[in-house]
Amino acid sequence: MPIEERLGTGPTVFVSYTHDDEDHRRAVLKFATVLQNSGIAVTLDRWASDRRRDWQAWAVKGMTECDYVIVIASKDYRRMGDGNGPNDLNLGGQSEAALLRDLLQGDRQAWTVKILPVILPGQDISGIPLFLQPNAADRYAVDSITPEGIEDLLRVITSQPRHVRPPLGPPLVLPPQTGPGSMPDATWSVLSQAVPVNWLPELLPRQGPAQPPLVELHLVPVDPPVRLRVRQLEALRDELPSVGRSRRLFSPSEGLTVDSSHDAVWAYASNRDGSTGLAVYRSGQRTCWFPATPATIGWLLDRDDLIDQLTDHLGLLADLGLSLPGKIAPTIGMTPTDFVRVGKLGEAAATSVSVPMAQPHEVRFDADEAVAAEDLRTSARSIAQELAARLVRALTG
């Protein structure tokens, strides 16, 4: 009778171990019981002693018909498994290990997946036979003989991985920056009147010395006027962190502060003193900010690097879960600009530099020119180049 009919329809495992001592036998029995109670049908010698058996035939049938073979690491199993133990001891363990070696030799790909070395509490990796590749292949250390302690093993046996690969998305289209097929330049139109901009210090006043210079990027709606509902802002509280992480404004693991008021919602990196963040206002304005590059002396602004960052962040702001109005006024600023110099990232470690002394404390550009919302997607780099050029020109005179 097939093993599935004997033991049920769930996953099936055969437990192979050596009888090192009574404590080890008790630990194996407890481990097998936890597996059985977790819906996994276990073949174990101590549960098959109801009648006289041919144990060699029993082991062959169990190992070849079960879904997995669990090998319990121990000092004696290592000796017997690698053929170094006394010939007159652990005869069953010797037989089972010999069979596993032969099965691996016959189909290594299939049996590497089916054999699961397990390290119970009190044992270590040295108890895994060399033929099971204790260092080069997976092993399963049990913290405690409980469902929680064997979770990694349970996930493998039941095909419930901890992390599931997301579905494959559509290919990312990356047009060339120059030449045939390159993105067109955005068309800028002059507004009859500049639209109001909410600058960062109005949202998050900065305190304390040695604050890094922050580049502010703003997208301000022009036509038609926008007034978001408060519940739309509330929904963005959960979206801002995930979008910021997915678009690399925030790192995957850093802590974030997320907050809101009657007029805005924002998220920023807590461990960076708020120097990197993202905000959306009821007016529809979308904002992100990030620091200049720290240098040995002062701060550095690399034009090419700035263009790359602005291009990424324009895409981030455009992809927030809100519809865009027909026209957007992009603008940029930096506060403070003290000890900021324009150069290349490779110059950050320089110990002798020339820093302009006549710079304004801050640079802000009016939002008095607009682009079509579609340009944010088709010509983001062109917009980034223009904004970077304006900021660099203001810093260099």
CATH label of the domain that carries residue 64: 3.40.50.11530
Interval 166-193 mean pLDDT: 81
Answer whether residue 201 is part of any domain.
Answer: yes
Same domain, 194 and 151: no
Q: Would the pLDDT of 253 be above 80?
A: yes
Domain range spanning residue 75?
Answer: 3-157
**Same domain, residue pair 130 and 18:** yes
Do both 52 and 113 map to the same domain? yes
For 106, which DSSP code? Answer: H
Q: Which residue has the tokens 């144990």?
A: 55
Query: Are 339 and 201 members of one domain?
Result: yes
pLDDT at 48 over 70: yes
pLDDT at 8 over 70: no
Give, in order, the Cα–Cα distances in Å from 262 to each of 54, 73, 216, 231, 266. 78, 61, 22, 10, 12
Domain membership of residue 163 (yes or no) is no
**Is residue 167 a part of any domain in this protein?**
no
Q: What is the mean pLDDT of residues 60-89?
A: 88
| Residue 159 φ/ψ region, left for φ over 0, alpha for ψ in the -120 to 50 degree band, beta for the rest | left
Clarify whether residues 243 and 363 are in a common domain. Answer: yes
Asked, for residue 44, whether it belongs to a domain, the answer is yes
In a domain, 181, yes or no: no
**Comparing 38 with 9, which gets the higher pLDDT?**
38
Q: Is the pLDDT of residue 179 over 80?
A: no
In a shared domain, residues 151 and 196: no
The band of 4, judged by pLDDT with boundaries at 50, 70 and 90, is very low
The answer to whether residues 254 and 314 belong to one domain is: yes
Domains held by the chain: number? 2
Same domain, 251 and 386: yes
CA atoms of 322 and 228, how far apart (whole Å) = 9
Longest dimension (CA), the chain: 98
The upper half-sphere exposure of residue 165, i.e. CA atoms within 13 Å in the direction of its Cβ, equals 3
Cα 199 to Cα 162: distance, rounded to the nearest angstrom? 43
Is 164 a member of any domain? no
Question: Which pLDDT score is estimated for 154?
Answer: 96
List the alpha helices (DSSP H) in the chain: 3-7, 22-37, 55-65, 75-81, 91-106, 108-114, 151-157, 200-203, 230-246, 303-318, 375-378, 380-396
Q: Do residues 50 and 194 both lie within one domain?
A: no
95 and 18 housed in the same domain: yes
Helix (H) or strand (E) segment spanning residue 41: strand 41-43
Phi-psi region of 59 (alpha: psi -120 to 50; beta: other; left: phi over 0): alpha
Residue 304 and residue 323: Cα distance in Å, rounded?
30
- Rounded Cα gap, residues 225 and 293, in angstroms: 36
**Do 303 and 250 have their domain in common?**
yes
Among 157, 179, 209, identify where a domain stops: 157
Average pLDDT of the segment spanning 248-274:
89
User: Whole-number mean pLDDT of the chain?
Assistant: 89
Q: Is residue 249 part of a domain?
A: yes
List the one residue out of 80, 39, 72 whose CA is nearest residue 142: 72
238 and 382 both lie in a single domain: yes
208 — pLDDT class (breaks 50, 70, 90): low
Q: Could you tell me if residue 182 is inside a domain?
A: no
